[in-house]
Structure 1
């Protein structure tokens, strides 16, 4: 399926953030499958290093930022849009994802950045409701209607890669990415050209 950006000289850059710090994360595996299935003209980079970010403190916001935080903020600033896929912990956001969002709150990297959600489970609606509230607070471009979920809970990363290679799943991913790319295109030139 062609993307709306396939004719552009510069591909659309999406940052896919995994809300899990677990090495064998279902959400991380889903995002890697999304990266591999991305249509021409859409580049997806997976950020799966929430565990490297120190606990947020305003005292650490002075330059120079901790190196892992500076790298994370740079990745957010230079992408055209953000996809988040996260597990639910105790009916809410995992601490690592909330910490990453806290690092972004006082900066300008995410204020006008398009953001959409993916979900790797048939459960987790409490977390999704909280995450939607948080994202609609920190960016004017949260896209609540661009959403897709896959029932992958308890599948291993290898199993997820196999499941998501199926033509029907790949088509769902590409439809999702194309919808989000269309939303990102409306502000792409304004944000970073």
Structure 2
């Protein structure tokens, strides 16, 4: 029997009804037995990064956020592109992790909720590689949800759930994690 995996999903949008969050929720629903996904709800609560507040002065919410990442076997990132870049709140969350030891070599999967947004994917790839995360490219999912009505989004997600495409991406990610331990 394979050991259970715990994945922590980071949403680059703080809107509760964002397409990125909907994609993460869909992945959560289709995850196979032995794979659990928790969606992070802490990013919007993090204070603005200040290196003077690291170490003994690290805010408790940052410590909680970092502990969740430390405890996860892998991370899933779904992030929209804002003004040709990484949303400020999400970049702030990443900045809190740069000098910590929770993220180096942690496996990461991108789940992108748009057919656009290649700039944010390039920027995130650069930032996350700089932070020494291990991006699992074979698990990349791109689901065209952005710009669609709620009904159309639900239809796309239902179709991908039924076809097994969402679960296949998660399964590739889980296989890559298990192969590296």
Q: TM-score, normalised by structure 2?
A: 0.91
How many Å separate the matches in 2 of 1:167 and 1:87?
20
How many Å separate the matches in 2 of 1:100 and 1:39?
28
How many Å separate the matches in 1 of 2:151 and 2:70?
31
How many Å separate the matches in 2 of 1:59 and 1:170?
49
Could you say what the CA RMSD is over the residues aligned between the two structures, in angstroms?
A: 1.9
Aligned to 1:112: 105
Aligned to 1:98: 91
Structure 1 residue 140 displacement after superposition: 4.7
Determine if the alignment matches structure 1 residue 183 to structure 2 residue 176.
Answer: yes
Q: How many residues are matched? A: 181
How many Å separate the matches in 2 of 1:21 and 1:12?
25
Aligned to 2:53: 60
Q: Compared with structure 1, are the counterparts of its residues 159 and 70 closer, same or farther at alpha carbon in structure 2 (3 Å cutoff)?
A: farther
Aligned to 1:32: 25
Aligned to 1:172: 165
Structure 1 residues not aligned, in runs of 5+: 1-6, 189-193
How many Å separate the matches in 1 of 2:150 and 2:106?
29
How many Å separate the matches in 2 of 1:40 and 1:156?
31
SS of alignment partner, residue 93 of structure 1: coil
How many Å separate the matches in 2 of 1:140 and 1:83?
11
Kept after mapping to 2: 8 A contact 1:29/1:157: no
Kept after mapping to 2: 8 A contact 1:33/1:161: no
SS of alignment partner, residue 6 of structure 2: strand
Structure 2 residues not aligned, in runs of 5+: none
How many Å separate the matches in 2 of 1:19 and 1:104?
15
